[in-house]
């Protein structure tokens, strides 16, 4: 694509409300814009990153046999009354009464809705196991929205739900999701720490969180110096490890990007979702739920992949793979060479952005560092005379002067090696 044809409003300065680096860079690199506290628009570049992440999640979810569907944002409050979560969520749940007096809320999660759906259509053990998931917009009336996409009132989640006949089935699906999550985060370039967690308002016994260690994270990861046990957000009174009861905990701040729960029968019992076994005996369905903060992942990725100049995208989720930067856009030879490389690399399957703007080289270089495309191909007058061009690796800062003729193979081999 041509830079002149994409709406990428980069900024020199971050907005005053941006406290952390990822928030500043999200705005400065033209990925998102604030509409009102906790509510963001995704601009074209931000949406591209979102789509890359969503595609990786879809591939890994589908590979476990999970099926995608799409549930509504609007939910009747009466459903939440069945599980008592209308009270438990309190003011966090956004509510309104429609013109006919129907009490509604905006879904922050979908256990009740999916349980209702499955209850109506699953009657027999033969229809189990079943894993359903969606990637969808969720809503929370946050007391204190902050850190850009980390804590927002409107955000995008992947939420999956598993339905099994017994605990053994649940444990198997839980493990499959656990492994899928590791693959998803690794493909997105995120190193994670997996912690034992408190299921809280979701319910159930066993729960794990997928954390990205980050100075500005709102969560705490506690690691036992004795037995190595890792726990999220240990209660303040716990000076010792909750597992071995002996070792001291060391603490690190983190951003939670995934959370999985063995729910058990909390929802199926409250809502009457049952199945008949081989003997015709009725049992409540055994459930699990599995969330990923999709939009929050963008913040976590930027928080861990940046330098003073801007973002450094991991290659799998970068909006583009190669940025082609003609230094003197008015120079015909530079222009032609740039277009030629654009076509050549695009034909080889690279997703290229050509900075065709009539701006100074200084602005272009600054913007290129800011938006953080993994590889930059710099086409300049002087180098062209020697039949050379420059390849810059964004992450390492390394610059390679290469033969104009070997660009495609060089880009290919470098791209394979970088993360």
Residues in contact with a copy of itself by CB under 8 A are 5-7, 9, 33, 35-37, 39-44, 46-47, 50, 65, 67-76, 91, 94-96, 98-99, 102, 104, 106, 113, 116-117, 120-121, 130, 132, 137, 139, 141, 143, 153-154
Query: In which region does residue 279 sit, left (phi positive, over 0), alpha (psi from -120 to 50) or beta (all else)?
Result: alpha
Q: What is the smallest separation between the CB atom of 147 and a copy of itself, expressed in angstroms?
A: 17
DSSP notation for 359-385 = --HHHHHHHHHHHT-SEEEEE-HHHHH
Between 210 and 275, name the residue whose CB sits nearer to a copy of itself.
275
Phi first, then psi: what are they for 84, rounded to 5°? 80, 5
Between 27 and 202, name the residue whose CB sits nearer to a copy of itself.
27
Between 39 and 227, name the residue whose CB sits nearer to a copy of itself.
39
Q: How many CA atoms lie within 13 A of 118 on its CB side?
A: 33
Residue 33 Cα distances to 11, 27, 40, 76, 160, angstroms: 11, 6, 5, 31, 29
Contact indicator for 169, 277 with CB cutoff of 8 Å: no
Count of C-beta atoms within a 10 Å radius of residue 414: 17
Between 63 and 248, name the residue whose CB sits nearer to a copy of itself.
63
- Does a cis peptide bond (omega within 30 degrees of 0) precede residue 129? yes
Q: What is the smallest separation between the CB atom of 73 and a copy of itself, expressed in angstroms?
A: 6
Of residues 353, 346, 381, the one with CA closest to residue 367: 353
The span from the CA of 74 to the CA of 76, in Å, is 7
Q: What is the smallest separation between the CB atom of 66 and a copy of itself, expressed in angstroms?
A: 10
Q: By three-state DSSP, how is residue 322 classified?
A: strand
Between 109 and 195, name the residue whose CB sits nearer to a copy of itself.
109
Q: What is the smallest separation between the CB atom of 4 and a copy of itself, expressed in angstroms?
A: 9
Between 72 and 84, name the residue whose CB sits nearer to a copy of itself.
72
Beta-carbon contacts of residue 56 (< 8 Å; ≥ 6 apart): 184, 187, 188, 316, 317
Q: Determine whether 413 is exposed, middle or buried from the number of CB atoms within 10 Å of its CB (0-12, 13-18, 19+).
A: exposed
Q: Facing residues of 151 across strands?
A: 146
Q: What is the smallest separation between the CB atom of 378 and a copy of itself, expressed in angstroms?
A: 25
Between 94 and 404, name the residue whose CB sits nearer to a copy of itself.
94
Of residues 105, 150, 89, the one with CA closest to residue 293: 150
Q: What is the smallest separation between the CB atom of 34 and a copy of itself, expressed in angstroms?
A: 10
Beta-carbon contacts of residue 414 (< 8 Å; ≥ 6 apart): 375, 391, 393, 400
Contact indicator for 354, 3 with CB cutoff of 8 Å: yes
Between 44 and 226, name the residue whose CB sits nearer to a copy of itself.
44
Q: What is the smallest separation between the CB atom of 369 and a copy of itself, expressed in angstroms?
A: 21
The span from the CA of 226 to the CA of 223, in Å, is 9
Q: What is the smallest separation between the CB atom of 24 and a copy of itself, expressed in angstroms?
A: 17
The span from the CA of 356 to the CA of 326, in Å, is 7
Between 70 and 235, name the residue whose CB sits nearer to a copy of itself.
70
Q: What is the smallest separation between the CB atom of 99 and a copy of itself, expressed in angstroms?
A: 5
Query: In which region does residue 338 sit, left (phi positive, over 0), alpha (psi from -120 to 50) or beta (all else)?
Result: alpha
Q: What is the smallest separation between the CB atom of 216 and a copy of itself, expressed in angstroms?
A: 23
Q: What is the smallest separation between the CB atom of 155 and a copy of itself, expressed in angstroms?
A: 10
Between 116 and 209, name the residue whose CB sits nearer to a copy of itself.
116
Between 47 and 418, name the residue whose CB sits nearer to a copy of itself.
47
The span from the CA of 327 to the CA of 322, in Å, is 15
């Amino acid at each position: 694509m041509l830079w002149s044809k994409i709406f990428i409003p980069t900024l020199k300065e971050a907005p005053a409300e941006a406290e952390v680096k990822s928030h500043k860079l999200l705005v400065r690199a033209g990925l998102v814009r604030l509409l009102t506290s906790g509510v963001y628009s995704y601009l074209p570049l931000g949406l591209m990153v979102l789509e890359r992440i969503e595609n990786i999640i879809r591939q890994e979810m589908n590979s476990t046999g999970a099926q995608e569907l799409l549930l509504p944002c609007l939910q009747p409050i009466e459903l939440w009354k069945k599980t008592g979560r209308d009270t438990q969520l309190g003011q966090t749940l956004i509510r309104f009464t429609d013109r006919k007096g129907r009490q509604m809320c905006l879904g922050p999660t979908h256990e009740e809705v999916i349980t209702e759906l499955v209850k109506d259509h699953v009657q027999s053990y033969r229809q189990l196991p079943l894993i359903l998931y969606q990637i969808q917009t969720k809503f929370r009336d946050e007391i204190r929205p902050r850190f850009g996409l980390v804590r927002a009132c409107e955000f995008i989640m992947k939420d999956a739900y598993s339905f099994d006949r017994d605990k053994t089935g649940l444990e198997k699906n839980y493990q499959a999701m656990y492994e899928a999550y590791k693959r998803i985060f690794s493909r997105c370039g995120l190193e994670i720490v997996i912690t034992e967690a408190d299921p809280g308002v979701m319910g159930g016994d066993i729960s794990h969180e997928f954390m990205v260690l980050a100075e500005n994270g709102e969560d705490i990861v506690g690691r036992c110096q004795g037995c190595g046990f890792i726990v999220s957000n240990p209660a303040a009174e716990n000076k010792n490890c909750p597992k071995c009861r002996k070792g001291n905990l060391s603490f690190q701040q983190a951003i939670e990007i995934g959370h999985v729960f063995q729910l058990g029968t909390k929802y199926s019992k409250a809502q009457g979702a049952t199945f008949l076994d081989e003997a015709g005996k009725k049992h409540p369905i055994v459930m699990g739920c599995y969330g990923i903060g999709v939009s929050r992942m963008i913040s976590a990725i930027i928080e861990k992949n940046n330098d003073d100049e801007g973002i450094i995208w991991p290659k799998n989720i970068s909006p583009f793979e190669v940025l082609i930067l003609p230094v003197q856009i008015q120079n015909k030879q530079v222009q032609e060479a740039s277009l030629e490389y654009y076509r050549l690399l695009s034909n080889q399957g690279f997703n290229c952005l050509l900075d065709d703007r009539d701006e100074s080289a200084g602005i272009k270089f600054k913007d290129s560092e800011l938006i953080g495309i993994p590889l930059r191909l710099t086409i300049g007058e002087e180098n062209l005379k020697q039949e050379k061009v420059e390849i810059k690796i964004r992450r390492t800062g390394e610059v390679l002067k290469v033969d104009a003729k070997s660009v495609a193979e060089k880009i290919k081999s470098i791209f394979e090696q970088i993360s």
